[in-house]
Structure 1
Amino acid sequence: MKEHFSETVRVKGRGDTKAKAFADALNHVQGSVMKSSPHILLRIEPQDVQVIQARVQVKKEAFLFFFLKREKQMFSVELDVSVNVTAINMDKVDFIPQ
């Protein structure tokens, strides 16, 4: 009934800091695993993280083209996350009709 399996999912995240970009990407791990698995998930444990792509986009802004100039940064990451999953296989559960 209870099964253990490993899976690797690719997730993307964006944020105005590096930490927010990584946190956004890691928040998408659960949803990616749930989409690919028909089982009821009990536990998802990340084992390894590999950075596939990490980018920073810099935009220059100014008020009325001359005043209050500043640079705005947007970070984006793409990660491969290896996870160990504990799940309940619903096919192995016997339901008794009443």
Structure 2
Amino acid sequence: MQENMKETVQITGKGKTKQHAINAALGQVQKQVMAKYPNTMILRIEPRDVSILTATEKRYKETFMFFLFPRIRQEFEVKLEIALDLAVMHIEKVNFTVEDNTKNKLMKKLAKG
């Protein structure tokens, strides 16, 4: 029922600090895995290795009314490649038993009415 798999995903995150950028990227791991395996239930996602592909800091000057109160703003962007160990359960392999109670409910409604 449970299957162990290995997967690699590439994710990108942006933020006003380095920590926010990395957290934004790591928050996308589950979304990408679930999109890649739509007919499975993800039981466990365990990172094996994290590689930083790119890490950039963008700086720009911001002013009020074109020349007042100048300040330097920065934004961080990181692109990661993460090797994962996955434990998944295939939903289509689960055998459900069917209980048809529609006739009983209909008969109860007719008896009351």
TM-score, normalisation: structure 1: 0.91
Deviation at 1:61, TM superposition (A): 1.0
What is the rounded CA distance, in whole Å, between the counterparts of 1:62 and 1:90 in structure 2? 55
CA deviation profile, 1:31-58 (whole Å, cap 9, x unmatched): 0000111311111111211111111111
What is the RMSD of the two structures over their aligned residues, measured on CA atoms?
Answer: 1.3
Secondary structure, in 3 states, of the residue corresponding to 1:80? strand
1:90 aligns with 2:98: no
What is the rounded CA distance, in whole Å, between the counterparts of 1:70 and 1:7 in structure 2? 43
Number of aligned residues: 98
1:73 aligns with 2:68: no
Secondary structure, in 3 states, of the residue corresponding to 2:25? helix
Higher relative contact order (CA 8 A, sep 6+): 1
Worse overlay, 87-96 or 10-19: 87-96
Partner of 1:5: 5
For structure 2, list consecutive stretches of 5 or more residues without a partner in the other structure. 100-113
**Judging changes above 3 Å, is the alpha-carbon distance between structure 1 residues 68 and 3 closer, same or farther for their aligned structure 2 residues?**
same
Deviation at 1:92, TM superposition (A): 2.9
Partner of 1:61: 62
Partner of 1:15: 15
More strand per residue: 1 or 2? 1
TM-score, normalisation: structure 2: 0.80
Partner of 2:40: 39
More helix per residue: 1 or 2? 2
Worse overlay, 25-34 or 58-67: 58-67
Q: Radius of gyration: which is bigger?
A: 2
Secondary structure, in 3 states, of the residue corresponding to 2:96? coil
Deviation at 1:96, TM superposition (A): 3.1
